[in-house]
A and B are shown apart, each in its own frame.
Chain A
Amino acid sequence: MKIIVLIYLAVIISLSFLLFQDPELDASIQRGNEIYADFCVTCHMGKGEGVPYTFPPLAKSDYLMNNREASIKGIKYGRQGELTVNGIVYNNTMDKLGLDDEEIADVMNYILNSWGNSSDQMVTLEEVEAITE
């Protein structure tokens, strides 16, 4: 009986995390969705799947999920050269996009929480501002 109660509570708690996410994060993800559709989708594609060997995926990307700071830096200042994502080596150029720091935080929150990705720590404006070239 005790176990059932514990399982019940665990389910309720995890559901509440799913259903009642931080509204601030939700709003940021929403704005990030628009930024993504404007600046990123042509290369990284509609479901974040990218183009194998040409444009790295964002969906379930080990690089993105494990290199938060470098990912922000890439969006903020552009990046060039080799990059290994999910075992595939990419060698391409991502142009500096001209986004402001708030937009970068929003699009990071979107890609960190879409297509099966999830991150419990929200990217904030201050975090983006702190990253320098």
Chain B
Amino acid sequence: MKKSIVYLYLFVVTLTFSCAQGPENEVNTPENIPFTAELLIDGLQIPWGMAFLPDGSMLVTEKSGELIHFKNGEKMMISNVPSIYARGQGGLLDVVLHPNYSDNGWIYFSYASEEGEEKGGHTAITRARLKDNSLQDIEVLYKGTPNTTKGQHFGSRIVFDNEGYLYFSIGERGARDINPQDLTRDGGKIYRLFDDGRIPEDNPFVSTEGAKTAIYSYGHRNPQGLTKHPETGRIWNHEHGPKGGDEINIVEKGANYGWPLITYGINYSGTPITDKTEMEGMKQPIHYWVPSIAPSGMAFVTSDKYKGWKGNLLVGSLVFQYLERLTLEGSQVTNREKLMGDLGRVRNVRQGPDGLIYVAIEGKGIYKLVPKE
């Protein structure tokens, strides 16, 4: 009983601090919506990743393991996709093209893989080329170890920066007290590689004994959003918190983002994880969500297609089932807006080469946001 009083006290304290973020943490519903959502690709279950090919066609990953090529209004299945470990949150995840795709044809995938000796699976990053509707020249660039049968927190998003480095995220695989703060273990990290999988010699932990040298930053929980800021060129991520405490972070070399030592969230049961929201040597998020929106997919708007949206950040919400538009001043979130409510769990958002926004919704498909005249 005494314990529960302490927990209650901590909960109230945490909640008070959580709410101290102020009014910018309210989400607004706009009156004038500058687009019409047109269902471009229908009949999809969990469209996790999408990429735009130069010929105007699209690649879409289904979490269940299917890779779809959408061309001229038709869905074609691509064969020779790597074997997927479909359990819990694991499956076929992100798909991203190489920045020089037109020259080299490389396509990058993240997925849950059973490769390795132990039972279970872990996140893998692979590249391949598309030939005659089949994946060829397959190269596994990274595979998290050891496998585990846990169903949680595979991450995983992929992004390239302006220098051509490849970044990807792996969640902490349901082992929050073991993985995220340990540099010798995979999980709870954002990684940086060369485009061919080699490890850059100036990665932050290359000379740390026993460390996984691909690690770029650590102390993450489950990042399912990773994107490049259009002006600064820096990599931004968002990640799922537990109950409360989803975060947006700017990814810095060698930085520790604190999970699970600091968090703005609590356990699903309502008990605290820690009473600390900050600690020396650990980064603070530039924004956090309480309650959790369960963010997935992340894109900056760089086109002028939607009035007043340029420079804004778009994020999907799985739990509240809407697309969130965040207005920023530098790295400060100044407004949050709810779009596309009640269509389903928003899994991904991308800006296409045509400057239009494409939104992936579970149980529905891919929506194209057609600007209103």
Contact = CB atoms under 8 A, between A and B. Distances in A.
Contacts of B321: 54
B362 interface: yes
Q: Determine the interface band of chain B, counting residues with CB < 8 A from chain A.
A: 20 to 34
Given A41-B268, A46-B267, A97 B344 contact: no
B151 interface: yes
Residue of B150, B174, B268 with most chain A CB atoms under a 10 A cut-off? B268
Contact of B269 (A42, A46, A80, A92): A46
B87 to A, nearest CB: 3
B90 A92 contact: no
A91 B363 CA distance: 9
A52 B70 CA distance: 35
Contact of B320 (A45, A54, A99): A54
B363 A38 contact: no
Contacts of A45: 268
Given A38-B174, A46-B269, A51 B319 contact: yes
Interface string B319-362: 11100000000000000000000001100000000000000001
B46 A95 contact: yes
Given A54-B320, A95-B46, A39 B88 contact: yes
Contacts of A125: none
A93 B268 contact: no
A121 B186 CA distance: 42
Contacts, number: 54
B88 A96 contact: no
A41 B321 CA distance: 17
Given A92-B344, A93-B345, A98-B88, A80 B45 contact: yes
Contact of B268 (A46, A54, A91): A46
A44 to B, nearest CB: 10
B135 interface: no
Interface string B53-68: 0000000000110000
A10 interface: no
Contacts of A80: 45, 363
A96 B363 contact: no
Nearest to B240: A42
A62 to B, nearest CB: 23
A22 B151 CA distance: 29
A46 B243 contact: yes
A29 B207 CA distance: 47
B341 to A, nearest CB: 11
Contact of A98 (B87, B269, B363): B87
A11 interface: no
B316 to A, nearest CB: 14
A131 interface: no
B270 interface: yes
B268 A92 contact: no
B273 interface: no
Contacts of A99: 87
Given A39-B88, A96-B86, A46 B363 contact: no
A93 B87 contact: no
Interface in B74-125: 85-88, 90
A91 B364 CA distance: 11
A42 B242 CA distance: 8
A7 interface: no
B170 interface: no
Contacts of A42: 268, 294
A92 B346 CA distance: 12
B272 to A, nearest CB: 13
A38 B362 CA distance: 21
A37 interface: yes
Nearest to B91: A95
A38 B90 contact: no
B184 interface: no
Given A38-B151, A38-B152, A80-B45, A95 B63 contact: yes
Residue of A47, A51, A91, A95 with most chain B CB atoms under a 10 A cut-off? A95
9 contacts: A38-B150, A38-B152, A39-B152, A46-B267, A51-B319, A54-B321, A92-B362, A95-B63, A97-B87
Interface of A: 37-39, 41-43, 45-47, 51, 54-55, 80, 91-93, 95-99
Given A39-B88, A46-B269, A97-B88, 17 more contacts: A38-B151, A38-B152, A39-B151, A41-B268, A46-B268, A47-B269, A54-B320, A91-B363, A92-B344, A92-B362, A92-B363, A93-B45, A93-B46, A93-B344, A96-B64, A98-B87, A98-B90
